[in-house]
Chain A
Amino acid sequence: MKARDLAYETFSALDANRGRSLLTVLGIVIGISAVIAMTALIGGVKQAMIGELGLNQARLVYIQCWYNRSMEVSDVEALEAEMADDYEYVTPLVWSGTDVISDTEKKSASIQGVWPSFFEATGVKLVSGRFFTEQESDTGALVTVLDQASVKNLFGNADAEVVGKTLRIAGAEYLICGVTESSGAGGSNPDYVQLYLPFSTCCSRVQGFTTVDQVYGFAREGSDMDAVAQRTTDWLARRFAVPEDERENAIWVYTMASTIEELNSMMMSFQVLMTSVASISLLVGGIGIMNMMLTNVTERIREIGLRKALGAKSRDITRQFLLESICLTMVGGLIGMALGYLGAFALSGLAGSLLGYGEGTALTPYLDLQSMLLVAGICVAIGVVFGYYPARRAARLDPVESLHYQ
């Protein structure tokens, strides 16, 4: 029997039992919508996290070390050179603060002295202009990059054309070479101003000394972050001659990957819980399908006998009934997916505020193709598992007896 004929038979059989079929797939609908709602919500949370942190965050390692002395630029350079297999860049940061004066405003600014590689490592995005160059960084040029919130607070308007203008910082004129997306750190605080200066400029003109406050390592793609962190710790311990028992206090190596991992595993356990609840519903739904298919077979014994008399092979009958149950579960699955996705939207406000994403706005349910295919696969599997026995039973019927069945 050809696929088209099978599809026709299935469609007309289901069409004949529309009401009963819909009632029967309710269990599947409920189970699948629970799974989908959960998956979409968790997907939404993950998307929100990735959006907020930037994808790069997973490859970022935060490094600090203090044992008898602070980290210096020379330590950073040595680390970058000696662990080149692990890191694409290692880049330092120094925190400072001073007054900054624009044409109209005077504010106290928080200042970060960085190398150009900092921007790439942390995934900060430019809105206009450019980051400073290696050369500007090396020569201690008087250039600065600031974020949109700071532009707003210094020039009155976040979209003001400020690239090429100057700011007065610690008694010198600095050329604004770029504007980045707002980090959101300052919120709507009108006094918040945050600037990036080249590391050497910051040290020599603002800070006055050359120790490093924080080091960022940007691991190579596909690295095992835990292993990289461990090797970094070992390297620092050697460099600073930290004894075994002081390591904990002196060295601080931290990856975002572990945070993401933690959150993932928390959500996984949540998902496992929901999935087990859903599987009970799917099990009950599957038994319902089997029950309906058995009724179907009994009601259609004469038809089965007739089909066999007309030349249907056992496998034609098996396929016909199997396809019917698969279609039932697929229809249930599709309805469940739609309902689950809508349900996820209804729940997203709630979940968003529970997880602290603002006023329930930031969270958009997210379903990837993979999970949808997985769910479709589960539906087919339920259809096969619970439809197989009734289908085989139909196929094994004796044609003579079934033709005369009353």
Chain B
Amino acid sequence: MSAPVIDVRRVHRIYESAAGYVHALKGVSLTVARGEFLCIMGPSGSGKSTLMNLLGCLDTPTLGTYLLEGVDVSTLDDDELAELRATRLGFVFQSFNLLPRATVLRNVVLPLTYTDVPASERRGRAEQALAAVGLPQEFFDHRSNELSGGQMQRVAIARALVNDPAVILADEPTGNLDQATGQMVLRTFRGLREQGKTIVLITHDAEVASWADRTVHIRDGRLLTDEEERAAVAASSTRGRGRT
């Protein structure tokens, strides 16, 4: 078995805010194998986004180690982290985060401008990524704010793909979409998984989680095993509270 793409070991994240300390992650350990489609599921405020930001090297753990493709990211400086984000990581956000005035192609090319992919190769790679998410060619020169939500999210996935990253990180990618559109986006992720991409997807929706190879549950900053999760759900329902 090859080394995992993501190897998180006993990671803590403590926020310091005006209201005091918030212990958002409490000793999380997690590995993701190459080619795996992992879903991280948990209720609101459980620490999903916090974990995602750490995995995406946008934030650093207060304690513990994170190895991305075997590299301990705590040894890297800001520029090296940026380099890592540019070349090894792809992000998909709940709110798409496209540049609204720019064309679809320009949006997908954007990450390439921060790497040393030669200008002559950019367009080809962007078109390839857009083809991989199934966006019809006729939209390539549209402004991104002229697209539907589902189309926008597929452009965003193409943007995450274009650098051929080690892992694609998606934080509630279907959160702003209706059921049918959400299904289409999930099918896109599934298709990428079949092509061998590594995907980590965050959701609080069990239906969404069913598309993944494996699901881990997070509650109150801790990862739970399936049994622990069932116990936790059972406990909360006996207390008369519905499942989040």
Chain A residues close to B by CB (< 8 Å): 1-2, 4-5, 12, 16, 302-303, 306-316, 399-400, 403
Contacts and interface: CB of A to CB of B under 8 A. Distances in A.
B128 interface: no
Nearest to A303: B99
Contact of B97 (A1, A306, A311, A314): A306
Interface in B139-158: none
A385 B86 CA distance: 30
A115 B109 CA distance: 79
B113 A314 contact: no
Contact of A403 (B84, B93, B99, B111): B93
A309 B91 CA distance: 7
B85 interface: yes
Contacts of A315: 79
Contacts of B86: 310-312
A2 B119 contact: yes
Contacts of A311: 82-87, 111, 114-115, 163
B113 A1 contact: yes
Which of A16, A306, A311, A314 has most chain B Cβ within 10 Å?
A: A311
Contacts of B87: 311
Contacts of B85: 308-311
B102 A12 contact: yes
A314 B91 CA distance: 19
> Which 8 A-B residue pairings sit nearest by Cβ, starting from the closest?
A311-B86, A311-B114, A5-B113, A313-B82, A311-B85, A310-B111, A399-B58, A306-B97
A309 B58 contact: yes
Contacts of A12: 101-102
Contacts of B159: 310
A400 B59 contact: yes
A126 B62 CA distance: 89
Contact of A314 (B56, B59, B78, B99): B78
11 contacts: A12-B101, A16-B101, A302-B97, A306-B99, A307-B110, A309-B56, A310-B111, A311-B82, A313-B79, A314-B79, A315-B79
Given A12-B101, A12-B102, A400 B58 contact: yes
A400 B113 contact: no
B13 to A, nearest CB: 11
A50 to B, nearest CB: 50
A313 B91 CA distance: 16
A310 B59 contact: no
B82 A312 contact: yes
A110 B59 CA distance: 94
Nearest to A314: B78
Interface residues of B, number: 26
Interface in B82-137: 82-87, 91, 93, 97, 99, 101-102, 110-111, 113-115, 119
A16 B104 CA distance: 17
A314 B114 CA distance: 11
A310 B110 CA distance: 8
B58 A308 contact: yes
A375 B79 CA distance: 36
B68 to A, nearest CB: 14
B176 interface: no
Contacts of A400: 53, 58-59
Nearest to B109: A5
Nearest to A310: B111
Contacts of A403: 58, 93, 97
B114 A1 contact: yes
Contacts of A2: 113, 119
A16 to B, nearest CB: 6
Contacts of B53: 400
Contacts of A306: 97, 99
Interface string B158-178: 010001000000000000000
B99 A4 contact: no
Nearest to A402: B58
Nearest to B111: A310
Nearest to B171: A403
Contact of A316 (B58, B91, B102, B114): B114
A307 B114 CA distance: 9
B82 to A, nearest CB: 4
Contacts of A307: 110, 114
B162 to A, nearest CB: 10
Contacts of A5: 113
A307 B115 CA distance: 12
Interface string B49-85: 0000100101100000000000000000011001111
Contacts of B78: 313-314
Given A400-B53, A400-B58, A400-B59, A313 B97 contact: no
Given A307-B114, A400-B53, 17 more contacts: A1-B114, A4-B119, A5-B113, A303-B99, A306-B99, A308-B85, A309-B58, A309-B85, A311-B82, A311-B84, A312-B86, A313-B82, A314-B79, A314-B82, A399-B58, A403-B58, A403-B97
A312 B84 CA distance: 10
Contacts of B119: 2, 4
A258 to B, nearest CB: 60
